[in-house]
Amino acid sequence: MQRAAGRTPERPTARAGRVRTHRAASPWLFLLPGLGVVAAFVLYPFLSTVHKAFTDARTLTPGTWVGLRNFRDMLDDEQFRVALRNSVLYVVAVVPLTVLLPLLLALLVHKKLPGVTFFRSAFYTPVVASVVVVSLIWGWMLDDRGLVNGILRFLGAGPVAFLGDQWLLLFSAMALTVWRGLSYYMIIYLAALANVPRELHEAAAVDGAGPLRRFVSVTVPALRSTMVLVGALSSVAAFKVFSEVYLLAGPTGGPAGQDTTLVMLVQRTGTGLNGRVGYASALSLAVFVLTLLLMLLVLRADRKEADG
Amino acid sequence: MTRTSGGEKALRYLLMLAVLAVSVGPFLWQLSTSLKSTTEDIYTYPPGLLPEHPTLDNYQGVADIVPVWDYALNSLKVAAANVVTNLAGASMAGYALARLRFRGRKAAGLAFVAALLVPLESVVIAQFTMMRDLQLNNTLTAVVLPGAVGALNVLLMRNAFANLPYEVEEAAVIDGANVWQRFTRIALPSVRGTLAAVAIFAFMGAWDDFLWPLIVLSDPDRFTLTVGLNFLHGTFQQNPRLVAAGTVIAVAPLLVMFACLQRYFFRGVGEGAVKG
Amino acid sequence: MPPSRSAAAVAAPLLASVLLLGACGSGGDGGGGGSADGKPEGSITFQTWNLRSNFKGYFDGLVRDFEKANPGVKVKWLDQPAENYAEKLSADAGAGTLPDVVNVSPDLSYPLAKAGLLMNLDKEKAAARFKGEYTPESWQGNTLPGLDGSYAFPWYLNTGPLFYNKSLFREAGLDPEKPPENYDELFAAARTMAGRPGGRTATLAGTPSIEDFGRYGVRLMNEDATRFTYNEPKGVELLTRYKELYDRGALDAQALTNTPEKSGQKFLEQKVAMNPGSAHDLGTFKKNAPALYRNLGITDAPNNNGKPNMYVMGLAVNARGKHKAAAVAFAHFVTDRRNQEAFAHQVAVFPSTKGSLDDPYWTKDDGTDEGRVRVASAKMLKGAVNYTPVVMSDEMKVVLKNEVAKALQGKKSPKEALDDAAAQSDKLLKRS
């Protein structure tokens, strides 16, 4: 992340070092609001979660130290294995699509044509509507008597139990995530596309490069860091997916709980009146470590490509 | 600028229309469902795309039981506050991380990266306990606070500032401008595109949030829209028309607002990019 | 942020005098809260569970009447949706913002009481004096194992009627006036329904719940509620028979994922022939599915041992509330005979106050369908049992649901599935 976000041709820190350009306290004053919020409302709660992972705390009781018991339980927990599988599948299926499709969409609406702003805005509808709204709509469309099955049946197929089958449910949720991601990540690409000097494209066009060549040899390299950013963002989001699956598959995660994702498991285990906060904290810790590994993987792949 | 051929134009419009159908179609279907009267069968094959006898009864029915408009207003307040705090907090922190040299810069940067990685869902109970200690639970302030400065936004801003050529500021340093002046007069205007993106993300993030407001708000008068819709969904699951009406109410004001402001959003993105 | 210790020492006497003047101060000690004796006064909150949409008028009236009779008290009514109710309670309990009077069922009050958050009504004189107004069973029904007392004023009782679709029964060649009374009859009817000419119709939309195991005659837990026993042969037998139904298409295709709400919708759409419901559903049917309503049959859930299941609702009082006297008075007011009977006239639930069910309204058939069902159910209520073990947490219910689903899918044998479910639940129980 450091590297991806901070990759610049100039090295500002090195140059700033030559001339003292600010008072010693200034940076910290700049950082204060952001760091304060993040430290108080994210990092501190996280530390307390780490502590709780080694206790048998429950929702209404603070619990006592139990060492590694929660982690040993996790290895025996079939639900954990199922959830891990689903979350990994989610990343594998969703991330390539959310890196590529929004880029293509951004290219489609990047070109100034009459009415293109209308399309851009209209595409943004699924993001403007909240995930709860969108999930309610999809749930209604994919219902076995909903719109999609109505159309299928009209065409002489179906009905398909989208919300009754473990895999169809997961795919439906993935489709929903990608669908919403289209315009969400399109915005990031549009912002980055605007930074690509037009001259590059024009030079390439003058050289006689076709649209595909220009995409591969001009656009992609220029947007590489953005693609990495989108890849990192969407893989973390996909790994931590909650709302879509929760709202489509239900709180218990589809048939026999087979559609449970990791965060759903955390939520289900750790909340409620009898919530096993200790075990849920251990699960959260596992999610955290795995997310970290995932990020490293994305950035490592990026670095290798950049070096090679 | 290269000229766009007629064929390419047609293809582009065709593609855009296809994406339009996919992205907006479901909402129109929901709108149609919400307008169908109780006497109309909503489960027919083929599906009836248009209501036979359009009626606003469902909207009346929903608003009678659940104050959907108040929920929308609460969500708007939260989202607006979230935009302001994120723009200010994230741009300042991002600027410091990208353009200032100081001991602990790396550690500060890592703190944001670490925060980005912490699954919010795993810390909500701890956050909630904290709000209780601050006596803020069941207030909209409590809804805003944990996301007031998003780590992701800080990193996006840092990325944007880091990409500015250093010469831009060097001149100002020589002219004797202090940090704050360089930040507000030179750096900020140069990253308008990213600021627009951050504003959009902050707004959407707050608008979208479901789990946290669900936990921290217990008074139905203070529900945000997502929690309110969950309430609606739980109450009217047996009548898709009413749920549809509720979702339309939830979406409509935002779409109108977005339609009015989208020029700013997209022009902001465009202009910021041209100048940056 | 809490003030520093010395500041608190200075402020304490001041605060105390302010409190005496009746101002709203922060209790701050986190322990006992206010006193339950004395004159009811102050602002209290009252939380119900998914009753706003149908009974807004009734509760507004209750609050108004109570405030008129007790001028010093202000009641704020909150209602929570059916879903996530336990989450909401736990969040409030964790934050110390539990409402003063809160609608609970025994399985919800158990963890709250265990954490010392609910008033033990038997130990609080101001509350215990009302004990005689309720039927002994209903008071007993709110008594929690190992916690030595009752933790909620008994409120409405519900046997949970079973609705069935008479026209679907007729089409399948079944007698619409003879709904199945025990599980043998239920399974026979379901087989007929699934095999009817012109398309299979599912009989049930859901999988067997813990109540089904109970009504089937399965022993659910050992005597001291420390071990689950639903994996005994009787339980395996029930699940095996359900598996057979599932394979024949006698359960809805989405039975494994249907929530109770979703099942209700299937029944509304006339896609399944029978569905357990609550009395609240009646109004919904009338309004949204007039065709179904005309053909609606209401009966009791099939039962092998003559003891129907009973859902027990109660009103608990927050043990740490600031205005306990007002809270106790209000909880008693809502659950007193007059108000319980008035509520039960609005919707087909049953009052838990002594003598109420001897009222002609519940003993004399007035000739209507509803009246007949009401009288029959009221009679059944005498031997009714709350099957759901109080110690069975939501997580344990999910465990059972998931393992049952695996058995129905054929991924495990019914015995394996129930053995696994019981083992997992026992482990959870031991860890609690």
B211 touches chain C (CB under 8 A): no
Fill in the amino acid letter for C145: P
What secondary structure letter does DSSP report for A158?
-
Q: Quick one: tokens of C25?
A: 């101060």
Strand partners, C163: C275, C298
Q: What is the pLDDT along chain A (308 residues), one digit of tens a residue?
A: 333 433 344 444 444 444 556 777 888 999 999 999 999 999 999 998 899 899 998 877 788 899 999 999 999 888 999 999 999 999 999 999 999 999 999 988 888 888 888 888 888 888 878 888 898 899 888 887 788 888 888 888 867 888 878 899 999 999 999 999 998 888 888 888 877 777 776 677 677 777 778 778 878 888 888 888 889 889 988 998 888 898 888 778 888 889 999 988 988 888 777 788 889 889 988 888 898 888 888 888 777 766 64
Domain count, chain A: 1
Question: What's the confidence (pLDDT) of residue B15?
Answer: 92
pLDDT in tens, C118-155: 999 999 988 999 999 999 888 988 888 888 899 999 99
Does residue C276 register a pLDDT over 80?
yes
Q: Write down the ipTM of this complex.
A: 0.79
| Residue among B125, B136, B236 with most chain A CBs within 10 A, to mutate | B125
| Residue among B138, B215, B219, B223 with most chain C CBs within 10 A, to mutate | B215
CB atoms B234 and C95 under 8 Å: no
Does residue C114 register a pLDDT over 60?
yes
Q: Mean of the pLDDT values across residues C79-90?
A: 76
Chain A residues 162-221 with a CB less than 8 Å from chain B: 179, 182-184, 187-188, 190-191, 193-195, 198, 201-202, 205
Question: What's the confidence (pLDDT) of residue B238?
Answer: 62
Domain annotation covers residue A56: yes
Torsion region of A208: left, alpha or beta (phi above 0 gives left; psi -120 to 50 gives alpha): left
A129 touches chain B (CB under 8 A): yes
Calpha distance C166→C163 (Å, rounded) = 9
Domain range for A214 is 51-307
Domain ranges of chain B: 67-235+264-275
Calpha distance A160→A168 (Å, rounded) = 9
C398 chain-A contacts, CB cut-off 8 A:
252, 257, 268
Of B22, B207, B240, the CB nearest to A140: B240
Does residue C61 register a pLDDT over 90?
yes
Of A163, A274, A276, the CB nearest to C257: A163
Question: What's the confidence (pLDDT) of residue C432?
Answer: 67
Domain annotation covers residue A188: yes
Domain annotation covers residue A36: no
Of A61, A256, A271, the CB nearest to C406: A256
Calpha distance B160→B134 (Å, rounded) = 35
Residues of C with CB under 8 A from a CB of B: 1-2, 50, 52-53, 56, 78-79, 81-84, 87-88, 91-92, 94-97, 261-262, 264-265, 268-269, 284, 287-288
**H or E stretch at A160:** none
Calpha distance A252→B177 (Å, rounded) = 59
**8 Å CB contact between C328 and C127:** yes
Residues near B233 by Cβ (< 8 Å), separated by ≥ 6? A136, B243, B246, C83
Question: What's the confidence (pLDDT) of residue B276?
Answer: 32
Q: Is the alpha carbon torsion for B232, B233, B239, B242 positive or negative?
A: positive
Does residue C411 register a pLDDT over 80?
yes
User: How many Å lie between the alpha carbon of A98 and the closest alpha carbon of chain C?
Assistant: 29
Backbone angles phi, psi at C296, to 5 degrees: -85, 125
Question: Using H for helix, E for strand and C for coil, what is the string for chain C?
Answer: CCCCHHHHHHHHHHHHHHHHCCCCCCCCCCCCCCCCCCCCCEEEEEEEECCHHHHHHHHHHHHHHHHHHCCCEEEEEEEECCCCHHHHHHHHHHHCCCCCEEEECHHHHHHHHHCCCECCCCCCHHHHCCHHHECHHHHHHCECCCCCCECCEEEEEECCCEEEEHHHHHHCCCCCCCCCCCHHHHHHHHHHHHCCCCCCCECECCCCCHHHHHHHCCCCECCCCCCECCCCHHHHHHHHHHHHHHHHCCECCCCCCCCHHHHHHHHHCCCECEEECCCCHHHHHHHHCHHHHHCEEEECCCCCCCCCECEEEEEEEECCCCCHHHHHHHHHHHCCHHHHHHHHHHCCCECCECCHHHCHHHHCCCCCHHHHHHHHHHHHHHHCECCCCCCCCHHHHHHHHHHHHHHHHCCCCHHHHHHHHHHHHHHHHHCC
Question: What's the confidence (pLDDT) of residue C335?
Answer: 94
Under DSSP, is residue B135 helix (H, G, I), strand (E, B) or coil? Answer: coil
Higher pLDDT, C39 or C325: C325
Q: Where are the alpha helices (DSSP H) in chain B?
A: 6-35, 57-65, 68-99, 105-117, 120-133, 140-144, 151-162, 167-174, 179-181, 188-190, 192-208, 211-216, 225-235, 240-275
Taking CA–CA distances from B126, the nearest residue in chain A reads A45
Question: What's the confidence (pLDDT) of residue C343?
Answer: 92
Question: What's the confidence (pLDDT) of residue B44?
Answer: 67
Q: What is the pLDDT along chain B (276 residues), one digit of tens a residue?
A: 455 678 888 888 999 999 999 999 999 988 988 898 877 777 766 667 778 788 888 888 888 777 888 898 899 899 999 999 999 999 999 999 998 888 888 999 999 988 877 777 668 767 876 786 677 877 899 999 999 999 988 988 998 898 888 887 888 888 888 888 889 988 899 888 788 878 877 887 888 888 788 777 877 778 888 888 877 776 666 677 888 888 888 888 778 777 777 766 665 554 443 333
Taking CA–CA distances from B43, the nearest residue in chain A reads A145
Question: What's the confidence (pLDDT) of residue C429?
Answer: 87
Of C78, C95, C261, the CB nearest to B132: C95
C27 band by pLDDT with thresholds 50, 70 and 90: very low
Of A60, A163, A268, the CB nearest to C94: A60
Residues near B158 by Cβ (< 8 Å), separated by ≥ 6? A5, A6, B93, B94, B95, B97, B98, B109
| A:C CB pairs within 8 Å | 85
Question: What's the confidence (pLDDT) of residue B266?
Answer: 61
Question: What's the confidence (pLDDT) of residue C15?
Answer: 35
**8 Å CB contact between A202 and B2:** yes
Task: Please count the residues of chain C.
Answer: 432
Does residue C16 register a pLDDT over 70?
no
CB atoms B102 and A28 under 8 Å: yes
Selection from A35, A185, A91 nearest residue B114 by Cα: A35
Taking CA–CA distances from A14, the nearest residue in chain B reads B101
CB atoms A31 and B96 under 8 Å: yes
| A:B CB pairs within 8 Å | 310
Assign a CATH topology to domain B67-235+264-275. Answer: MetI-like fold (1.10.3720)
Tokens 């009302």, located at residue: C130
Subunits with 3+ C-beta pairs closer than 8 A to B:
A, C
What secondary structure letter does DSSP report for A256?
G
Backbone angles phi, psi at C143, to 5 degrees: -85, 135
pLDDT in tens, C175-196: 988 999 899 999 999 988 888 7
Subunits with 3+ C-beta pairs closer than 8 A to C:
A, B
Question: What's the confidence (pLDDT) of residue B139?
Answer: 87
Question: What's the confidence (pLDDT) of residue B201?
Answer: 76
Q: Is A124 exposed, middle or buried (0-12, 13-18, 19+ CB in 10 A)?
A: buried
| A201-205, C44-48, C349-353, C363-367: segment of lowest average pLDDT | A201-205
Under DSSP, is residue A65 helix (H, G, I), strand (E, B) or coil? Answer: strand
Helix axes B192-208, B151-162, angle to 10 degrees: 170
Neighbours of C429 (CB within 10 A): 18
**8 Å CB contact between C236 and C222:** no
C114 touches chain A (CB under 8 A): yes
Question: What's the confidence (pLDDT) of residue C6?
Answer: 37
A40 chain-B contacts, CB cut-off 8 A:
130
**Residue A240, domain CATH:** 1.10.3720.10
Taking CA–CA distances from C86, the nearest residue in chain A reads A272
Strand partners, C43: C74
User: How many Å lie between the alpha carbon of A76 and the closest alpha carbon of chain C?
Assistant: 11
User: How many Å lie between the alpha carbon of A279 and the closest alpha carbon of chain C?
Assistant: 11
Tokens 């700013």, located at residue: B264
Q: Mean of the pLDDT values across residues C235-249?
A: 93
Question: What's the confidence (pLDDT) of residue A307?
Answer: 62
CB atoms B238 and C284 under 8 Å: yes
Of B89, B102, B117, the CB nearest to A27: B102
Taking CA–CA distances from C117, the nearest residue in chain A reads A60
Q: Quick one: tokens of B150?
A: 């998003």
Question: What's the confidence (pLDDT) of residue A175?
Answer: 95
CB atoms C1 and B134 under 8 Å: yes
DSSP β-ladder status, C42-49 and C101-104 = parallel
C76 band by pLDDT with thresholds 50, 70 and 90: very high
Enumerate domains of chain C plus CATH numbers.
33-157+312-363 (3.40.190.10), 162-308+386-430 (3.40.190.10)
Residues near C211 by Cβ (< 8 Å), separated by ≥ 6? C160, C301, C309, C387, C388
Subunits with 3+ C-beta pairs closer than 8 A to A:
B, C
Q: Quick one: tokens of C393?
A: 């947490």
Of C91, C112, C257, the CB nearest to A254: C257
Task: Please count the residues of chain B.
Answer: 276
pTM, full prediction: 0.79
Selection from C126, C123, C118 nearest residue C151 by Cα: C118
The mean pLDDT value of chain C amounts to: 84
CB atoms C87 and B215 under 8 Å: yes
Question: What's the confidence (pLDDT) of residue A8?
Answer: 41
A270 chain-B contacts, CB cut-off 8 A:
122, 125
Calpha distance B221→B205 (Å, rounded) = 22
Residues of A with CB under 8 A from a CB of C: 56, 58-61, 79, 144-145, 161, 163-164, 169, 249-252, 254-257, 268-269, 271-276
